[in-house]
Homo-oligomer: A and B are copies of this chain.
Amino acid sequence: MKLDVIFDPVGLPTSEVAGRVVFVVDVLRATTVMCTALHQGARGIVPVSSTEEAMRVAQALGTEDVLLSGERNGLPIPGFALGNSPLEMTEGVVKGKSLVMTTTNGTKALLATQGAAEVYIAAAVNVSVAGVRARELLELNEDLVILCSGREGNFGLDDAYTAGRLAVLALGGRRIRKGLNDAALVAVDLVRRYGNRWERPLSLSAAGRHLRAIGFSSDVLYAAHEDQHPVLPVYRDRRITLSPLP
């Protein structure tokens, strides 16, 4: 039984995820947005790596039920229907739609999971549901990876803290120090350091500071609102949909 945390997907060898169950975290904001959109009734989300690919996929899917969404440097992409703010993902806008989504960091993390046994989406808004599934898997002796999206290839405090919260739930008080990698040890320590308050690490993080600077303070508050979307999105066959709850 192993529980590894990876702080950023850059240079991640496929052997690290091959055959393992991966939880992808990009709390500010991609995985928060995904949970929100699916909970508000979106049919599915296709993560892609570029705006060009987004347009190609949208055309292939047929445009009526498809919404292009995403960001570059946190800002909406010209011509796209939606940005990367969870506040945009209202039922009226997303219900019954498929989203084609491209973001700076979260998408890269998802695309780095090739070969994984299963890939789930986690954020503060669904952390307890994700934690229940992670705990079940550890009890079945599965190896887990919590993959942080990080920030342009660097460590992000926001995702590391989220990984810590998820790890603590997965462990459920068990001590498996030998089964944790160095990053998992530190992620769990961050929970001791910051306690249960999401606002602090999210606001302190470079991602949080950047969002505040470009006018998205309310997104940071939204992302810090624990368990408001108790869903478990799963990434399978290049598409994210809702998985039955654990």
Chain A residues at the B interface, C-beta cutoff of 8 Å: 5-8, 10-13, 151, 153-158, 160, 177, 181-183, 185-186, 189-190, 192-193, 204-206
Contact = CB atoms under 8 A, between A and B. Distances in A.
A182 B157 contact: yes
27 contacts: A5-B155, A6-B154, A7-B7, A8-B11, A10-B10, A10-B11, A11-B11, A12-B153, A13-B153, A151-B182, A154-B181, A154-B183, A155-B182, A155-B186, A156-B182, A157-B182, A157-B186, A160-B186, A177-B204, A181-B206, A182-B204, A182-B205, A185-B204, A186-B190, A189-B190, A189-B193, A193-B193
A155 B4 CA distance: 11
Contacts of A5: 155
A225 to B, nearest CB: 21
Contacts of A8: 11
B186 A186 contact: yes
Instruction: Name the residue in A6, A7, A10, A151 with the highest tally of chain B Cβ atoms < 10 Å from its Cβ.
Output: A7
Number of copies: 2
Contacts of A13: 153
A167 B190 CA distance: 18
A207 to B, nearest CB: 8
A18 B7 CA distance: 24
Contacts of A7: 7, 154-155
Contacts of A181: 154-155, 206
Nearest to A193: B189
A157 to B, nearest CB: 4
Contacts of A160: 182, 186
A119 to B, nearest CB: 19
Contacts of A156: 182
